[in-house]
């Protein structure tokens, strides 16, 4: 067994799951966009094209499948999904050559990704086991918050602040002091830094100041 066969054999042994899907052909660019977004929004994954559900390797025309994948990832996903494409060449028992196409999608730093439906709606998806499922509002908000934290390089206290605001919507200076167990002087400084980063906004009601997430 050569390298290509070994490479595919490991995936075939593992079988479809949260990070792996087999496709005999790509005949619906909207459907594959959903899968791409789901992998990018979860923990990444691999799509192997040219493989039947029963794990039979039938091969594909890689250029044709590549065109569909690139259209789905670049135009039917928002933001576009990054992927790496690799052609895997296999020799059959009678000397014929078959080609499988491997699409590798990493977990995205730009979550959430939305897939365009045939009706023109942008819809978010997640991967659960071997299924591509609709992502609800809470899951979308969680992805947005995680992305903010990662991009901004948040401190532990800033992360706790955003988590609190996600659940309760607003916080006062005194409540923040109690939440992270710090002095008033330090709390004022940290809230000022969060304001400078654009993480929160300050509002006033009946002469009382309070803070809300700038992402709400």
Stretch among 22-31, 32-41, 193-202 having the lowest mean pLDDT? 193-202
Q: Within a domain: residue 146?
A: no
Question: What percent of the residues of the chain are helix, what percent strand, and what percent coil, each to the nearest 5?
Answer: 40, 25, 30
116 with 177, same domain: the answer is no
pLDDT band at 69 (very low <50, low <70, confident <90, very high): very high
Q: Are the C-beta atoms of residues 103 and 83 closer than 8 Å to each other?
A: yes
For residues 188-202, average pLDDT: 86
Residue 54: CB atoms within 10 Å: 7
pLDDT of residue 6: 77
Q: Within a domain: residue 143?
A: no
pLDDT band at 157 (very low <50, low <70, confident <90, very high): very high
Rounded Cα–Cα distance for residues 66 and 87 (Å): 10
Tokens representing 181?
A: 């167990």
92 with 192, same domain: the answer is no
Q: Give Cα 71 distance to the centre of its chain.
A: 18
Rounded Cα–Cα distance for residues 212 and 190 (Å): 14
* Site of tokens 């794990």: 55
Rounded to 5°, angle at Cα 163 from 161 and 166? 110
Rounded Cα–Cα distance for residues 30 and 71 (Å): 10
Summarised one tens digit per residue, pLDDT across range 4-33 is 677 788 898 888 999 999 999 999 999 999
67 pLDDT more than 60? yes
Domain range holding 23? 3-135
At residue 71, φ and ψ (nearest 5 deg) are: -65, -45
Task: Residue 70: give its domain's CATH number.
Answer: 3.30.950
pLDDT band at 94 (very low <50, low <70, confident <90, very high): low
98 with 188, same domain: the answer is no
Q: Are the C-beta atoms of residues 36 and 115 closer than 8 Å to each other?
A: yes
163 with 118, same domain: the answer is no
pLDDT band at 151 (very low <50, low <70, confident <90, very high): low
Q: Within a domain: residue 142?
A: no
Q: Are the C-beta atoms of residues 101 and 86 closer than 8 Å to each other?
A: yes
Q: Are the C-beta atoms of residues 6 and 29 closer than 8 Å to each other?
A: no
For residues 82-96, average pLDDT: 81
127 with 160, same domain: the answer is no
118 with 160, same domain: the answer is no
112 with 162, same domain: the answer is no
For residues 103-110, average pLDDT: 92
pLDDT band at 92 (very low <50, low <70, confident <90, very high): low
pLDDT band at 148 (very low <50, low <70, confident <90, very high): low
Element housing 95 (H / E): none
Count of the separate structural domains present in the chain? 2
Last residue of a domain, one of 100, 135, 170: 135
31 with 104, same domain: the answer is yes
60 with 97, same domain: the answer is yes
């Amino acid at each position: 067994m050569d390298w290509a066969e070994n490479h595919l054999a490991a995936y075939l042994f593992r079988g479809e799951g949260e990070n792996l899907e087999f496709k005999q052909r790509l005949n619906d660019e909207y459907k594959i966009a959903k899968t791409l977004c789901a992998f990018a929004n979860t923990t990444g994954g691999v799509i192997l094209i040219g493989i039947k559900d029963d794990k039979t390797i039938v091969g594909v025309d890689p250029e044709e499948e590549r065109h569909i994948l690139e259209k789905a990832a670049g135009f039917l996903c928002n933001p576009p999904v990054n992927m790496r494409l690799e052609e895997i060449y296999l020799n059959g028992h009678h000397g014929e050559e078959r080609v499988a196409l491997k699409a590798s999608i990493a977990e995205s730093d730009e979550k959430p990704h939305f897939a365009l439906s045939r009706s023109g709606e942008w819809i978010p998806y997640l991967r659960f086991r071997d299924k591509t499922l609709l992502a609800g509002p809470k899951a979308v908000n969680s992805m947005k918050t995680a992305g903010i934290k990662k991009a901004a390089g948040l401190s532990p206290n800033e992360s706790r602040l955003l988590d609190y605001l996600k659940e309760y919507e607003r916080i006062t200076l005194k409540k923040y002091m109690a939440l992270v167990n710090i002095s008033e002087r330090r709390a004022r400084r940290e809230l000022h830094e969060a304001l400078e980063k654009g993480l929160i906004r300050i509002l006033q009601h009946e002469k009382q100041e309070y803070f809300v997430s700038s992402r709400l």
